[in-house]
Copies of this chain bind each other. A is one copy, B any other.
């Protein structure tokens, strides 16, 4: 299998990207990498070119670029060339740490949607205190206007992913709503609840509330992109602020607290590890014809390494092919008895 890597995306590119790719290469011997980016910057970071190819380009998409315009105009950008390689069948998956909107646009306009999927969804894996597997949530913002069918499709796609990549046989699918009772929510969520409940291929557990997500109440949390975006950011922002307050309390207090702080450093560090999502890899843009995965712009080599492992798991399990086949079957004319 071959992964097209946008080597120039992210805050520490290409350094962090190459670091993670090299670590993954030594472990995953069936993966080849094509690195898109500035050869002058990339080459010095690599001693051994085994299963690595560099496709040189100096153009790149920045975090300030307007996504759709950037994809249309910067035809030689590392992200666009990498997407084109997937489109042309020269690579099986696309990986970038760059501009999320641009990656979404590259996925939609270059690689293309799976037939039958109306709106791809962006799906990160988040931590859950009761499980090392965490939970998935989608859509967290690929798509601001959702219809009930989109949410149903998110449930189906998340289900395949959780089975293949997280190894959960019957993932618990929950619908993010403003109460747990079946009749809760606005029209969108009431209708989505009905579609999910009627789909007997899914282990749908009903509505879940945002307060319960980190407790691991569901394996896959289905939500519209607007609510999912706010919920994800609220979780991330709150965890960051509370942990920084803890750190301040430990570090900035009086001498007594400083002594306590040193002793506690390790165990409080353990909490940080608990909420460390690096091991889950990046956010998957589910609904495209190939795995398209976005790692955080600030990701280090370790996160890049785990993201390659995540992509490897999707390719080895043919997760996207399963989604394609499923929707093909749904859309094919029904046979008569």
Contacts of A268 in B (CB 8 A): 246, 249
Q: List 22 A-B contacts (CB under 8 A).
A: A129-B245, A141-B178, A144-B185, A178-B229, A178-B230, A186-B226, A209-B230, A210-B231, A210-B232, A211-B240, A214-B241, A226-B227, A234-B235, A235-B237, A238-B238, A242-B275, A245-B271, A249-B271, A250-B267, A260-B261, A261-B264, A264-B264
Once the chains are docked, how many angstroms separate the CA of A267 from the CA of B247? Answer: 10
Segment among A251-259, A295-303, A313-321 that sits at the interface with chain B: A251-259
Interface residues of A (CB under 8 A from B): 129, 141, 144-145, 176, 178, 185-187, 189, 209-215, 223, 225-227, 229-243, 245-246, 249-250, 253, 256-257, 259-264, 266-268, 270-271, 274-275
Contact between A230 and B210 (Cβ–Cβ < 8 Å)?
yes
Once the chains are docked, how many angstroms separate the CA of A230 from the CA of B253? Answer: 34
Return A132 CB to nearest CB of chain B, in Å. 15
Contact between B129 and A241 (Cβ–Cβ < 8 Å)?
yes
Contact between A210 and B237 (Cβ–Cβ < 8 Å)?
yes
Contacts of A241 in B (CB 8 A): 129, 214-215
Contacts of A274 in B (CB 8 A): 245
The secondary structure that dominates the A interface is helix
Return A85 CB to nearest CB of chain B, in Å. 29
Contacts of A234 in B (CB 8 A): 210-211, 213, 230-231, 234-235, 238
Contact between A256 and B250 (Cβ–Cβ < 8 Å)?
no
Return A80 CB to nearest CB of chain B, in Å. 22
Once the chains are docked, how many angstroms separate the CA of A260 from the CA of B263? Answer: 6
Contact between B259 and A271 (Cβ–Cβ < 8 Å)?
no
Once the chains are docked, how many angstroms separate the CA of A225 from the CA of B246? Answer: 31
Contacts of A227 in B (CB 8 A): 226-227, 230
Q: B214, B230, B263: which contacts A238 (Cβ < 8 A)? A: B214
Say whether, besides A186-B226, A234-B210, A238-B242, A249 and B263 are in contact (CB < 8 Å).
no
Return A105 CB to nearest CB of chain B, in Å. 15
Contacts of A236 in B (CB 8 A): 211
Contacts of A186 in B (CB 8 A): 144-145, 226
Contacts of A275 in B (CB 8 A): 242, 245
Once the chains are docked, how many angstroms separate the CA of A129 from the CA of B211? Answer: 21
Return A275 CB to nearest CB of chain B, in Å. 7
Contact between B238 and A264 (Cβ–Cβ < 8 Å)?
no
Contact between A226 and B178 (Cβ–Cβ < 8 Å)?
yes
Identify the interface centre among A145, A178, A232, A257: most chain B CB within 10 Å of its CB: A178
Q: Name the 6 nearest CB pairs between A and B, nearest first.
A: A211-B237, A260-B263, A234-B234, A210-B233, A211-B233, A238-B238
Return A66 CB to nearest CB of chain B, in Å. 10
Contacts of A259 in B (CB 8 A): 260, 263
